[in-house]
Structure 1
Amino acid sequence: MSRITAIIYAGVICLLVCLGWLAYYYHGTATDYKKQRDTAQQNLKLSNATITTMETRQIALAALDAKHTKELADAKAENDDLQRKLDAGGRVRVAGKCPPMQATTQSTGTPGVGDAGTVELSPVAGRNVLGIRAGIINDQAALRTLQDYIRTQCLSQ
């Protein structure tokens, strides 16, 4: 009976060694999968935060774009109204103020121009002035838009 007992003990020991090896193998595999899961969860959180930030910035940019587009459209509409008035026979007048005359000029009796006079431009010059005004309005609107973009998107981080 001692031989049968020895075989049973040997079988039990082999079984325990095999079970220990399997437990060690699956424990290592489970640890690796846990690390992979944790890394994936961290990447998911980072991706979600990035998406949220991008959505917030897109909303802010859309509002900024709408604001500046409206301002530019209003300025263009005003310039177009002035252009229509000029085309309908209106005139462009430039209000000006002359600098005070020097004492030597006044003593000689040279005739001068009074203050707060107006100068009337020809229709061609008026259209040129309105064209220049439209260009200035576009340039200023573009500068304001870029400055707001830099202020809200680039410097706010």
Structure 2
Amino acid sequence: MGLKGKLTAQIEMKAGGDLFHELVRYEPQQIPNISPTTIQGCDLHEGDWGNVGSVYFWKYTLDGKQGVAKDVIESIDEEKKSMTFKVIEGDLMKLYKAFKVGFHVDTHGGIDLVTWTLEYEKLNDDVEEPLSMLGFCIKLAKDVEAHHLKAT
């Protein structure tokens, strides 16, 4: 079994992928208000909101357990409406040597799709694939969608 892996999931975003991208890029500190069972906090530690190189500190709940993560925005592509975060500290680093979370927004036939990608390197073969983290990302997107649909 390999230590490196990549998981991908795609979800339709009825509220509009642009809204999702703009929220995560420019106002991630609002996410705890939108998805409080998933994310309980997002603080800026270095840089400016929504800029490459900025460092965020997240408080979250995964599989019923409280967790924290510090990550750096590794890349942003406005044209593709994509962002990649590299986890540099926190609970995930107890299991993974490297962990990246990215998303991008595509439009196909008038339907916006958010695609999540997790890239990781496990510390050893005993570490499970991060399927629950992929489910966490899907739930976050659904919560953002429900919030925006309710607000319109």
Task: Give the TM-score normalised by structure 2.
Answer: 0.26
Higher helix share: 1
Higher radius of gyration, 1 or 2: 1
Higher relative contact order (CA 8 A, sep 6+): 2
Task: Give the TM-score normalised by structure 1.
Answer: 0.26
Higher strand share: 2
